[in-house]
Amino acid sequence: MVTITRLLGFICCITLTGSACAQQPNIPLSGSNQSYEFQLVTKGVDIPWGMAWLNEKDILVTDRKGELRIISNGKLLSERIEGLPELRAEGQGGLLDVTVDPNYAQNNLIYFSYSGLEGEGEGAHTSVMRAKLQGFKLTEQTVIFDGGPNSTKGQHYGSRLAFDNQGYLYISSGDRANRDVNPQRLDRDAGKIHRINSDGSIPQDNPFVAQKEANPSIYSYGHRNPQGMAKHPVTGDIWTHEHGPKGGDEINIIQSGANYGWPVICYGVNYSGTSFTDLTEKEGMQQPIWYWVPSIAPSGMTFVTSDVYPDWKGKVIVGSLKFAYLVALELDGNKVLSQETLFPGIGRVRNVKQGDDGYIYVATDGSGIFKIVPSK
């Protein structure tokens, strides 16, 4: 258990005009002296990529190596869920995100993404399956999205899932480590946000349905590797964040038909430190509402709506793989005003979500899944 009464660490902030400012000590999110306990829920999941609540007591969690598990009343059940598809658990691939149908209580439908082999060509790509969860078995499995073409590269599957208020399913697909081809081509699924109906069919108002050479599931393009996605609790908009290269991690609000610029515009450079573009903005390409330099390697994203955290309510929380902490972003509408580091040193954060019980859960690589609770 870690108890925090004062939030420490450093932040690299960005002004509203986008220019970077120097590191400076954190300031508490409010004047409150409320302390929080970082409580271990369970170990036993190596890389807990996705979390979804079946109800207030039962959590579905994916292990990237290819296991779907249930945490019930804070205990990781030993039985694995059967019926998963064949997948390629190599590199950054494996069993990835999971979400439940908006009407799960009536239909028992779940959706999960994975590095699937269904697409054309050798290798794998981001796929999504819908299935009914019956006890510890998946039934009526249907592949509702199979990205293509496949690639033998092991990076950049993206692969977050979220439903909007109209019941459309959004899918993030990374560029599959082929930035020069995939993100800007509308006949390629990689480097995109896709929008489909829950049965896999295509909404007729998707932006590229009438464009002959475009894949009709594409909703936005020019993305690198989006590993955070959440629905704004007030506006209903889909927000994402994505990994930049060395610098240039971004937060974006997804708009129909919009081009988010990768790799034509970027606030980062190659991992070697060399430049691949001189542009940070270009007409017809969206600017991020926030970006990080240096990169924090963001993963997981949740809006805080719970009364459990009065000091954090209305903020968005993002996990950092690189620096092993959480980042709390203060918002004014669609603007990010500032950020603050929370719980430095907690481990590589793979996912962060507010659960149906109102508590924030944090999944870390190798260290376990934790719950943040106010101290008494």
Q: Which residues are catalytic?
A: 156
CB 70 within 8 A of CB 58: yes
CA separation for the pair 183, 225 (Å, rounded): 10
Buried b (16+ CB within 10 A) or exposed e, 48-82: bbbbbbbeeeebbbbbbebbbbbbeeeebeeeebe
What is d(CA 219, CA 204) in angstroms, rounded to the nearest whole number?
Answer: 12
Nearest to 191 by CA among 204, 181, 199, 200: 181
| Spatial distance between the Cα atoms of 261 and 214, rounded to a whole number of angstroms | 17
Residue 107's SS3 state is helix
Strands (E), 238-324: 238-242, 249-253, 290-292, 298-303, 316-320
Cα angle value 210/257/97 (rounded, 5°): 105
238: left (phi over 0), alpha (psi -120 to 50) or beta: beta
- Tell how far CA 146 is from the center of its chain: 19
Residue type, 217: S
Do 194 and 226 form a contact (C-beta atoms < 8 A)? Answer: no
Contacts of 19 (CB under 8 A, 6+ apart): none
CA distance 199 to 187: 22
Token pair belonging to 352? 């962060």
Q: Tokens at residue 216, please?
A: 């009709």
User: Per 3-state DSSP, what percentage of the chain is helix, strand, and coil (rounded to 5)?
Assistant: 0, 40, 55
Tokens, residue 162: 């979220």
